[in-house]
Amino acid sequence: MLSARLLVSAGVQICLAFLTRVESLRLVPMLPPLCQSQDVPDFQIDTARLTIDNHGKSNIELLLYKQSKECHECDLRPVAMVGSKCTVLVDTRWPVRVEVRALNGSIQLTPPSCSAANNTFLFLERGQYTMFIQQNFEGGFQMDCRFAQMNSPPDAYIPLYAAFGIAAFLALMWIILRSLYNRGVFHRMICFWTAESVMSDLGPPPAVHSTEESTGETSGSDNTKMNKKRLRSLDTFRGISLTIMIFVNYGGGQYWVFSHSIWNGLTVADLVFPWLVYIMGTAMMLSFQGQLRREVPKINMFWKILRRSMILFALGLLINSDGDDGLDLSEFRIPGVLQRFAITYLIVASVHLVFARTYDEHRYGRFAAIRDITEFWPEWVLYLILIAIHTIITFRMQVPGCLTGYLGAGGDAEHGQHRNCTGGAAGYIDRQVFGNSHIFQNPTCKEVYRIRLPRHDPCGLLGTLTSVFICFLGLQAGKILFIHKDWVQRCIRFLIWGIVLGLIAGILCKFSKNDGWIPINKNLWSLSFVIALAGMAFVLLAFLYLLIDVCKIWSGAPFYFPGMNPIVVYVGHELLTGRFPVSFDVVVTHPAQLAMNLWGATFWVLVALYLLNKGILITV
């Protein structure tokens, strides 16, 4: 009996000792690896070198911490234990917080000159930087950090400036040559050196030229008639958005401004998808008016809407499959860009079909000035209800283990307190409906915020409600074009809508990137995001409409061409991503990547031009 008690007592002591050991191991922070002076990493794109020069190395261990300021409310990350000298790579896309701490046993000391508060810098790409550390043990341990830039690297954006300059030069040369051609200058020059020059000079060259031009246009027959009826500014708007989308999807020269935002904020890449949704709504209004004037039955129009939505959704699934043989359906992504287009189009088109009309009933009524709104007030009520539903779900839905109304990136954000809450209610709905294996696996916030598991899809379900709203705002632009025939009235209304929507978006986000009620966020398609993008779209549409359709200063080329065949260009560019002839094995530098990506976008503009010249317009 006594021996049994002794055995039990010994076992308990062993267990307690083991648990104590495990707990002590858990509480001791894991130290980063030792960085030696010979460990000098090679430059990568969007990086600089930071060297920690530890003069007078002592038995006091130094720890290097850093964190990008793009990571909102994130703790500093331990990078390396510093020996006599340590060189690491730092990000040059955003400011980086750098801190050096002295480790004395279990105590970490951070002198003011070495703290992140005094060492936050926007590093230059391929720059060489050194932080000199001086240690002093007289009268107690003291440490001082001094920061210095050791070289003057070339501006990483020089290739981009050169590309813009070349594009501007080519555009200017095109305008000059086209002007000379229209004035008959080339005709007179050619006739001067031909045997027929005497006969040609008997008649005015401009008349000969105008005859040739009109003959060339009439030979296009169906294509010309169609172009006269269309607003070229709408197709140009669509073409600009699509061309930029192709460029950024192919890499954007590896410039961060042509990549999607990490979480909150806006980049060039964030503009194009919402703009395409917006202009889809604008074109929808004009298309419906044409069909109704031809007395097409609404039931036939609805079946066409349903058919188009199903085709778009199927094409989106095809793009997600990436043409793989033996596709693994257990990890197949369901949401996508064309899927979002399909659902948005189905909802907005079906609703508008109910209220569409071909006549201007209240042209001289009391609210004639705003009849583009009042005549369609039921639609406004419906979409405001959808926005209210989106807002209630976003801020009131209970997500297990997460703060109610959370809109953050999760991971390291907010000091890691909401690590598995990426996207809040939007991410939770995607995971519950589609499952982790069927949503986007590489979100933009993965690198900076260290998201370990897929938690959210940028084309998810909840964002469809705000996508529907920006499409409806595009439809509103179409209503302005339909109801108000004077170009001045149209432009004034476009600009008013742009300003008002911009102010509303600014108020929602408090004109701040991270501190507003509803931050501008493309990943979530937040309400402030779609309102801000719709405001920009109204202003851009006003500018293009004035420039192309009113003043006729610009024909819309070359963006007009892909705008006429958007489905072919979009699906084709997706299927050829990373493949010849739009992608090659080149060095990973900004000049090489920019040249390749610009060629990729140019290739599809040329394809669209060829199809248009052949009279081939493919729609769904």
Q: Is 573 a catalytic residue?
A: no
d(CA 409, CA 419) in angstroms, rounded, equals 8
Which among 527, 551, 276 is positioned nearest to 383, based on CA atoms? 527
Strand-pair partners of 87? 51
Q: DSSP state, 140?
A: S
Strand-pair partners of 144? 134
Helix (H) or strand (E) holding 50: strand 47-54
Helix (H) or strand (E) holding 122: none
Rg (C-alpha) for the chain, rounded Å, is 31
559's tokens: 């963006």
d(CA 111, CA 208) in angstroms, rounded, equals 83
d(CA 238, CA 259) in angstroms, rounded, equals 20
Helix (H) or strand (E) holding 228: helix 222-229
- Catalytic residue, from 260, 438, 484, 590: name it: 260
CA 361 distance to own-chain centroid: 41
Distances (CA, A) of 211 to 179, 206, 462, 559: 17, 9, 57, 27
Helix (H) or strand (E) holding 565: none
Q: Where are the beta strands (DSSP E) in 263-383?
A: none
d(CA 267, CA 256) in angstroms, rounded, equals 8
Q: Which contacts qualify for 606-610: CB closer than 8 Å, 24 or more apart?
A: 607/568, 607/569, 607/572, 608/239, 608/561, 608/562, 608/564, 608/565, 608/568, 608/569, 609/558, 609/561
105's tokens: 């046993």
**Residues designated catalytic:** 260
